């Protein structure tokens, strides 16, 4: 894959309550406002999803573009967390074998609507967060 023109973009499921809370969690701790966000339900998000072979109708992972590369599943979550001030300790979790990390990630992702619930429509962020959303 050639380099994507945007960087530090988090692709997430905008109707997933857990995923939307993840976005708010990251935004609140990203004091440098480095990361931007795009729901898979948006035109831009769906285009990203298809590019990374994620089904926009049934996304099974979030993804993050960082350093011109795409990271998915546990790599995406750990990459994002490791960039947040005070969270660089999570880099140690990369030592956990990827198949194990991704198994746990996939277990939660597969059951996220049942466990955490689902919005009827893509969640609408407040004005400050909205400025960081790509659609």
Over range 46-73, report the average pLDDT.
91
- Contacts of residue 63, defined as CB under 8 A and 6 or more positions apart, other chains included, come to 10, 11, 48, 49, 52, 54, 70, 71, 72, 76
Report residue 103's pLDDT band, with 50, 70 and 90 as the boundaries.
very high
Asked if pLDDT for residue 84 goes beyond 90, the answer is: yes
The burial of 82, by beta-carbon neighbours within 10 Å (0-12 exposed, 13-18 middle, 19 or more buried), is given as: middle
Asked if pLDDT for residue 1 goes beyond 80, the answer is: no
Over range 43-49, report the average pLDDT.
93
Over range 19-28, report the average pLDDT.
93
**What pLDDT is stored for residue 54 in this prediction?**
92
Asked if pLDDT for residue 64 goes beyond 70, the answer is: yes
């Amino acid at each position: 894959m050639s380099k994507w023109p945007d960087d530090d973009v988090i692709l997430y499921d905008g109707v997933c309550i857990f995923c939307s809370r993840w976005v708010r969690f990251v935004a609140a701790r990203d004091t440098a406002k480095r990361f931007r966000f795009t729901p898979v339900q948006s035109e831009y998000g769906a285009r990203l999803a298809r590019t990374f072979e994620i089904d926009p109708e049934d996304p099974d992972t979030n993804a993050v573009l960082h350093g011109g590369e795409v990271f998915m599943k546990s790599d995406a979550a750990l990459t994002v967390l490791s960039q947040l001030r005070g969270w660089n300790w999570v880099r140690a979790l990369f030592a956990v074998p990827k198949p194990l990390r991704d198994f746990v990630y996939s277990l939660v992702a597969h059951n996220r609507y049942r466990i955490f619930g689902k919005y009827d429509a893509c969640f609408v962020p407040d004005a400050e967060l909205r400025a960081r959303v790509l659609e």
